[in-house]
């Protein structure tokens, strides 16, 4: 049977609601779009809200480029409360007084969490260890040693201080756990802390101001025209130089053949390639051994 749904390919900037997993959002988009290939670029905890880029169709092949982009969050942290999940959804394991803390104490402590820092992933996280999700082990009452990982916090500023809660803006690299940041900040201050509320306000080029609420997609149904909301595949690759190739070179790329390109390109980088008609062809990578540009991702 031939489906009569409208073909939808591209990247949706979805405003994830609280109470849903990122996988559930993907499942909803798959159902609404009628497309089998759907994936997200960066897990958000169920209680968190905000920007969740969802890739549909061929756009699933650019997820690897999306997940490495910087992310921005607005986080409310409650000091004096320690939980096993590092956020308010977990079991309280400790409570301590915070009346001695001043705004200046908190600002001084935040200085220790800028730049390259080390974090231990929470047990209640989707990170895999020995083939199993950490949260699966945690639900069985099993706690394992987790290797610390280096992440980069590009920007960290306090937006408000209403003791014992503070709100911060965080711009960070892939793999940063804001729950771990809240927990570690509390430890640094000697009173403990946990994440109370989290909103992801940006993933790369996708901002919360333009994010589409999931219920708006639901209201439109499968036959809705999503074209105003879908971003093209190459929209997440604009930090790479663009090159236009001839029709003959286009065929070479489609056949997986390496080639020489203009000398002005940085020979340690990737580049976007377009045909003479302006259509996006794919991504090439430079092979330093061959001194040639090789097809890395080619799109139909």
Question: Which DSSP string corresponds to 227-242?
Answer: TTTEEPGGGG-TTS-E
- 44 and 153 in one domain? no
3-state secondary structure of 192: coil
User: How many residues appear in the chain?
Assistant: 300
Within-domain flag for 102: yes
CB within 8 Å of 209: residues ≥ 6 apart: none
Per residue in 124-142, pLDDT tens? 777 777 777 777 776 777 7
Residue 21 inside a domain? The answer is yes
pLDDT averages per 10-residue partition of the chain, 300 residues: 57 96 96 94 94 96 94 98 93 95 97 96 76 74 82 98 97 95 97 97 97 90 82 94 94 95 77 95 93 92
Q: Answer whether residue 1 is part of any domain.
A: no
284 torsion bin: left (phi>0), alpha (psi -120 to 50), beta (else): beta
Gyration radius (Cα) of the chain, Å: 22
Alpha carbon 97 to chain centroid, angstroms? 35
Q: Which of 231, 239, 199, 257 is nearest to 44 (CA)?
A: 199
Are 284 and 270 a contacting pair, CB within 8 Å?
Answer: yes
Residue 181's H or E segment, with its range, is: helix 178-189
Does one domain contain both 133 and 244? Answer: no
* 100 and 166, same domain (yes or no): yes
- Looking at residue 2, what is its pLDDT? 36
Domain of 56? 10-68+205-234
Q: What is the rounded distance in angstroms from the CA atom of residue 79 to the CA atom of residue 96?
A: 8
Q: Say what the pLDDT of residue 272 is.
A: 94
What's the number of CA atoms in the CB half-sphere (13 Å) around residue 216? 14
Tell me whether residue 45 is one of the annotated catalytic residues: yes
CA distances from 8 to 2, 30, 33, 150, 186 (A): 16, 10, 6, 37, 45
Does an H or E element contain 288, and which? none
**Nearest-angstrom CA–CA distance, 272 and 268:** 14
Considering the domain architecture, whether residues 244 and 191 belong to the same structural domain is answered as no
Determine which one of 45, 87, 184, 234 is catalytic: 45
How many domains does the chain fold into? 3
Residue 88 sits in the same domain as residue 62: no
Within this chain, do residues 29 and 152 fall inside the same structural domain, yes or no? no
User: End-to-end distance of the chain based on CA atoms, in angstroms?
Assistant: 24
Tokens coding 23 = 């996988």
Contact in structure between 10 and 66 (CB atoms under 8 Å): no
Looking at the domain assignment, is residue 5 inside a domain? no
User: Is there a single domain that holds both residue 209 and residue 181?
Assistant: no
Listed in sequence order, the residues at least 6 apart from 138 whose beta carbon sits closer than 8 Å to its beta carbon are 84, 123, 124
4, part of any domain: no
Say whether both 29 and 175 belong to one domain: no
Assess if residue 2 is contained within a domain. Answer: no
Are 198 and 227 in the same domain? Answer: no
Task: Please give the pLDDT value at position 7.
Answer: 60
120 plus 77 within the same structural domain? yes
Residues 6+ apart with CB under 8 A from 260: 291, 292, 293
pLDDT tens column, 242-291: 999 999 999 999 999 999 987 667 776 899 999 999 999 999 999 988 88
Paired residues of 272 in beta bridges:
242, 283
Among 47, 60, 42, smallest CA distance to 21 is for 47
Report yes or no on 58 lying in a domain.
yes
3 assigned to some structural domain: no
Please report the pLDDT score of residue 182 as a whole number: 97
The domain spanning residue 211 has which CATH number?
3.30.2350.10
Asked if 145 and 170 sit in the same domain, the reply is yes
Cα–Cα distance measured from residue 209 to residue 66, given in angstroms and rounded to the nearest whole number:
19
CATH code for the domain in which residue 260 is found: 2.30.130.10
Collapsed DSSP state (helix, strand, coil) of residue 42: coil
Q: Are residues 187 and 77 in the same domain?
A: yes
**How many Å apart are CA 63 and CA 236, to the nearest integer?**
9
Paired strand residues for 92: 83
């Amino acid at each position: 049977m031939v489906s009569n749904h409208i073909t939808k390919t591209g990247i949706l900037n979805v405003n994830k609601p609280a109470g849903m997993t990122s996988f559930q959002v993907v499942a909803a988009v798959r159902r609404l779009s009628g497309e089998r290939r759907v994936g997200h670029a960066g897990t958000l905890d169920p209680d968190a809200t905000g920007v969740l880029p969802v890739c549909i169709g061929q756009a699933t092949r650019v997820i690897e480029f999306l997940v490495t982009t910087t992310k921005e969050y607005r986080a409310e942290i409650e000091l004096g409360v320690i939980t096993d999940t590092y956020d308010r959804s977990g079991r309280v394991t400790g409570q301590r007084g915070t009346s001695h803390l001043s705004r200046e104490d908190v600002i001084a402590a935040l200085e220790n969490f800028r730049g390259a820092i080390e974090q231990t992933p929470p047990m209640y996280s989707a990170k895999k260890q020995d083939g199993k999700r950490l949260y699966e082990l945690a639900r069985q009452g099993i706690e394992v040693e987790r290797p610390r990982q280096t992440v980069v916090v590009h920007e960290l500023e306090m937006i408000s201080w209403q003791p014992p809660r503070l709100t911060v803006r965080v711009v960070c690299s892939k793999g940063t756990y804001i729950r771990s940041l809240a927990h570690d900040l509390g430890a640094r201050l000697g009173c403990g802390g946990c994440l109370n509320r989290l909103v992801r306000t940006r993933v790369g080029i996708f901002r919360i101001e333009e994010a589409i609420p999931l219920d708006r997609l639901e209201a439109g149904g499968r036959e809705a025209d999503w074209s105003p909301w879908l971003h093209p595949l190459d929209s997440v690759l604009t930090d790479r130089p663009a090159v236009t190739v001839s029709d003959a070179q286009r065929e070479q790329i489609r056949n997986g053949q390496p080639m020489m390109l203009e000398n002005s390109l940085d020979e340690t980088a990737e580049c976007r390639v377009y045909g003479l008609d302006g259509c996006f062809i794919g991504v090439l990578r430079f092979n330093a051994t061959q001194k040639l540009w090789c097809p890395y991702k080619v799109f139909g």
